Amino acid sequence: MAETATTAEGEAPAGPAGRQRMDSVLPELRAMWWETGVRARAEAGLFAVFAELPRLIWAALRVSWRVDRVRTLVVVATTVGAGVMAAFGLLATQRVLVELFAGGPTAEKVVAALPALAALAAATALRAGMATAMGYAQNGLAPKVDREVERGLFEVTTAVRLEAFDADAFADDMERASRGADSTTDLVQSSMNLLAGLAGLLAVAVAVAVIHPLLLVALLVATMPNAWASLRAGHLRYQTYAAGSVRRRRVWLLHRLMAERDSAPELRSYGLRRFLLDQYDRVMGVETDIQLALARRVTTTTTVGSMIAGVATAVVYVLLGLLLVDGQIPLAAAATCVVAVQSAQRSLSVVTFQVDRVYTEGQHFRDYTGFMTRAAAYLPDETAHPAGAVPDRLREVHVDAVTLCYPDRDVPAVDQVTLTIEAGQTVAFVGENGSGKSTLAAMIATLRAPTGGTIRWNGRPLPEWDVDALRARIAVVTQEYHKWPFTAATNIAIGDIGAEPGQDRIEAAAARAVAHEMITELPHGYETLLDRTFANGQDLSGGQWQRITAARGFLRNVELLIMDEPSSALDPRAEDALFQAIRDRQGRATTILITHRLANVRHADQIYVLHHGALVEAGTHDELMTARGRYSELFALQAAGYDTRQTAAAPLPHQTTGA
């Protein structure tokens, strides 16, 4: 099955040209190396399934125990109790039948059978009571397990280093992990049900063996074929699931592209509707073929299983008849065996269904636990610096020969950069697109770790400080800000959420970022929900969002403020006011400013010019202009755009090739 899926994944619907186009548009549809492990597991035989079950059940019991001991105990106790009652009930049935098939008047036989009948009634009632208690305890466990596991996942996804999100495999791993988290409740429930089914089956087996050992063989023959078929069907389903991880992610992406607000305007203006629908049809064409092939194989397997089971049951009944005729077993035992076979078949269909589910959900659960283990590699290394010191007030940030290579890149994004920023300075990082400014700022902000060199805060390397305490002293207004789906006030307050800032602080920060008036004009002022997908929610323009983002940075009022392209969408008045607010910090607090609007960095104490990751120039505006290097070239180029005389008369300075 995995082979079918693999081939289908790479297939374009229409010949070599279609295949080529499909590959170039949807390269992720090709099978990827990290799927190999999943496939290998999915291709494990039925023996491997059984070998794995105890471990999976044990894992489920451990999760359940951790979440709620009382309910787990109730489930285990009632499972065992219900099994004992089932065995007891069958033996009581046999006793009733023995009395009823004995010689003598019917009234006397019924009276003789009464104690056994009473025992049977009591066993049945107790069993029903235990099943109810088990169901109640299980239902209570489900939401708790869900919460525990999902929270565990979020604990990790919110703590891993940013690098994790650069790795392609991580995104897919996480997709399967969140499916695995959803599966945990199912794993716990199906493990409990499986245990209950097994207890029932064991009870029937014990009772039948007590009546006549040969009947045990009959029981096995009548029940095994269906068990095999349903196990095989579950196995096929998981193989298909494992092979389609990338495809599902693609469909999910297409879902979002075609149904979400963000992409709606471009989708229409570029006429992408047909293009995206075609992509959807291609992926889903492959998916539908795979699902149809799966349905065919599952139906064939279960049909063959049922046919063999039918023949086997007939053989058992013939065997019983022969034993009866031969006088090997009494009539009561034969009748009890018929009841037992039916009861065992019911129990076994529960068991096999649950084995299938435990195995299938268990694979997903292992995706979850595997992810949690793998993600640990991306967690901050607390063992290297167990008790990070609490940083003192910033005096100096020293960047010493710092390099950062992104994992999949040959050339470093930041290359051997050395510079020092003194407290109170406003420094600017400038340079063409892709020259490494944001990456360098992210390292100073502790968001990324250098792959070479050291960054020191007051002389001590960043990893030796307590990272949370350090981050509390730094505010970052990123270029790729996030539109948090909260109210305008909360959107600003999250800049210093731990301090629970009051309305006056929020408004003061908004005023510095030229956002106050704009917010008060919103339908509900600061309480306006900034998410169009909710009732009464509002959206803002790009520039308005940027003001809110800047307010978030100002609210924090920290020693080091990093502003990465804070004004790219601002109108001239707002931009001027924002840079005035940044200049107000000069001498009091430290600011790192990244901007392409070079007029705004003229006042900076130091300007660092980056090119292809390397620091190529440093100095004040006047020094750099006098040096007539890259900065002065970029500055003149920009200034020329505002100089009507020069624009009309003189040729523009030649721009050197940027990244």
Minimum distance from residue 414 beta carbon to ligand ATP (Å): 7
Tell me which stretch binds ligand ATP (CB under 6 A): 90-98, 418-426, 429-437, 483-491: 429-437
In this complex, which beta carbon is closest to ligand ATP, that of residue 358 or of residue 607? 607
In this complex, which beta carbon is closest to ligand ATP, that of residue 433 or of residue 657? 433
Minimum distance from residue 162 beta carbon to ligand ATP (Å): 8
What residues numbered 162-191 form the site for ligand ATP, per CB under 6 A?
166
In this complex, which beta carbon is closest to ligand ATP, that of residue 65 or of residue 165? 165
Q: How far apart are CA 113 and CA 195, in angstroms?
A: 33
Among 183, 185, 352, 439, binds ligand ATP (CB under 6 A): 439
Minimum distance from residue 435 beta carbon to ligand ATP (Å): 4
In this complex, which beta carbon is closest to ligand ATP, that of residue 282 or of residue 437? 437
How far CA 309 is from CA of 197, 296, 399, in Å, comes to 19, 20, 74
Minimum distance from residue 635 beta carbon to ligand ATP (Å): 16
What residues numbered 207-266 form the site for ligand ATP, per CB under 6 A?
none
Q: Which H helix or E strand runs over 380?
A: none
Quote the tokens at residue 63: 């999760």
CA torsion sign for 617, 618, 621, 623 is: negative
Minimum distance from residue 446 beta carbon to ligand ATP (Å): 16
Quote the tokens at residue 20: 């080529």
Minimum distance from residue 483 beta carbon to ligand ATP (Å): 19
Q: How far apart are CA 399 and CA 401, in angstroms?
A: 7
SS3 of residue 609 by DSSP: strand
- First CA to last CA distance, the chain: 46
Q: How far apart are CA 178 and CA 172, in angstroms?
A: 10
Tell me which stretch binds ligand ATP (CB under 6 A): 187-195, 378-386, 435-443, 452-460: 435-443
In this complex, which beta carbon is closest to ligand ATP, that of residue 46 or of residue 618? 618
Q: How far apart are CA 38 and CA 239, in angstroms?
A: 9
Tell me which stretch binds ligand ATP (CB under 6 A): 428-436, 452-460, 470-478, 483-491: 428-436
In this complex, which beta carbon is closest to ligand ATP, that of residue 190 or of residue 435? 435
Q: In what order do the strands lie in the sheet with 452-457?
A: 414-422, 396-404, 452-457, 460-461
* Residue 433 in the binding site for ligand ATP (CB under 6 A): yes
Tell me which stretch binds ligand ATP (CB under 6 A): 197-205, 299-307, 431-439, 644-652: 431-439
How far CA 456 is from CA of 63, 394, 410, 651, in Å, comes to 43, 11, 26, 45
In this complex, which beta carbon is closest to ligand ATP, that of residue 626 or of residue 638? 638
What residues numbered 465-504 form the site for ligand ATP, per CB under 6 A?
479
Length, in residues, of the chain = 659
Amino acid sitting at position 517: E
Minimum distance from residue 440 beta carbon to ligand ATP (Å): 7
455 within 8 A of 499, measured Cβ to Cβ: no
* Residue 352 in the binding site for ligand ATP (CB under 6 A): no
Tell me which stretch binds ligand ATP (CB under 6 A): 230-238, 244-252, 432-440, 489-497: 432-440
**One-character DSSP codes across 497-566:** GGG---HHHHHHHHHHTT-HHHHHTSTTGGG-B--TTSTT-----HHHHHHHHHHHHHHH--SEEEEEST
Among 434, 452, 543, 619, binds ligand ATP (CB under 6 A): 434
Minimum distance from residue 41 beta carbon to ligand ATP (Å): 30
Helices (H), 586-643: 621-627, 630-642
What residues numbered 358-417 form the site for ligand ATP, per CB under 6 A?
406, 409, 413
* Residue 354 in the binding site for ligand ATP (CB under 6 A): no
In this complex, which beta carbon is closest to ligand ATP, that of residue 247 or of residue 437? 437
SS3 of residue 225 by DSSP: helix
In this complex, which beta carbon is closest to ligand ATP, that of residue 234 or of residue 431? 431
Minimum distance from residue 161 beta carbon to ligand ATP (Å): 12
In this complex, which beta carbon is closest to ligand ATP, that of residue 242 or of residue 430? 430
Q: Cβ atoms within 10 A of the Cβ of 267, count?
A: 17
Q: In what order do the strands lie in the sheet with 606-611?
A: 474-477, 560-564, 590-594, 426-430, 606-611, 614-619
206 within 8 A of 347, measured Cβ to Cβ: no
Q: How far apart are CA 41 and CA 9, in angstroms?
A: 19
Tell me which stretch binds ligand ATP (CB under 6 A): 8-16, 110-118, 340-348, 434-442: 434-442
Q: How far apart are CA 130 and CA 78, in angstroms?
A: 5
* Residue 436 in the binding site for ligand ATP (CB under 6 A): yes
CA 84 from chain centre, in angstroms, equals 42
Q: How far apart are CA 371 and CA 383, in angstroms?
A: 21
In this complex, which beta carbon is closest to ligand ATP, that of residue 157 or of residue 479? 479
SS3 of residue 178 by DSSP: helix
Query: Number of residues in contact with ligand ATP, rule: CB under 6 A?
Result: 14
Helices (H), 326-434: 331-375
Minimum distance from residue 596 beta carbon to ligand ATP (Å): 7
Q: How far apart are CA 259 and CA 247, in angstroms?
A: 18
Amino acid sitting at position 117: L
Tell me the per-residue interface mask from 109 to 148 with ligand ATP, x by CB under 6 A, - otherwise.
Answer: ----------------------------------------
Tell me which stretch binds ligand ATP (CB under 6 A): 7-15, 119-127, 430-438, 496-504: 430-438
Residue 268's contacts (CB-CB under 8 Å, 6 or more residues apart) are: none
Minimum distance from residue 401 beta carbon to ligand ATP (Å): 17
Tell me which stretch binds ligand ATP (CB under 6 A): 33-41, 227-235, 345-353, 426-434: 426-434
Q: How far apart are CA 224 and CA 352, in angstroms?
A: 10
Minimum distance from residue 484 beta carbon to ligand ATP (Å): 21
Q: How far apart are CA 506 and CA 501, in angstroms?
A: 7
In this complex, which beta carbon is closest to ligand ATP, that of residue 186 or of residue 432? 432
Among 190, 239, 240, 435, binds ligand ATP (CB under 6 A): 435
Q: Which H helix or E strand runs over 433?
A: none
Q: Which H helix or E strand runs over 164?
A: none
Quote the tokens at residue 428: 């600017």
* Residue 437 in the binding site for ligand ATP (CB under 6 A): yes
In this complex, which beta carbon is closest to ligand ATP, that of residue 346 or of residue 597? 597
In this complex, which beta carbon is closest to ligand ATP, that of residue 83 or of residue 613? 613
What residues numbered 58-87 form the site for ligand ATP, per CB under 6 A?
none
Provide the binding-site residues for ligand ATP, judged by CB under 6 A: 166, 406, 409, 413, 431, 433-439, 479, 659
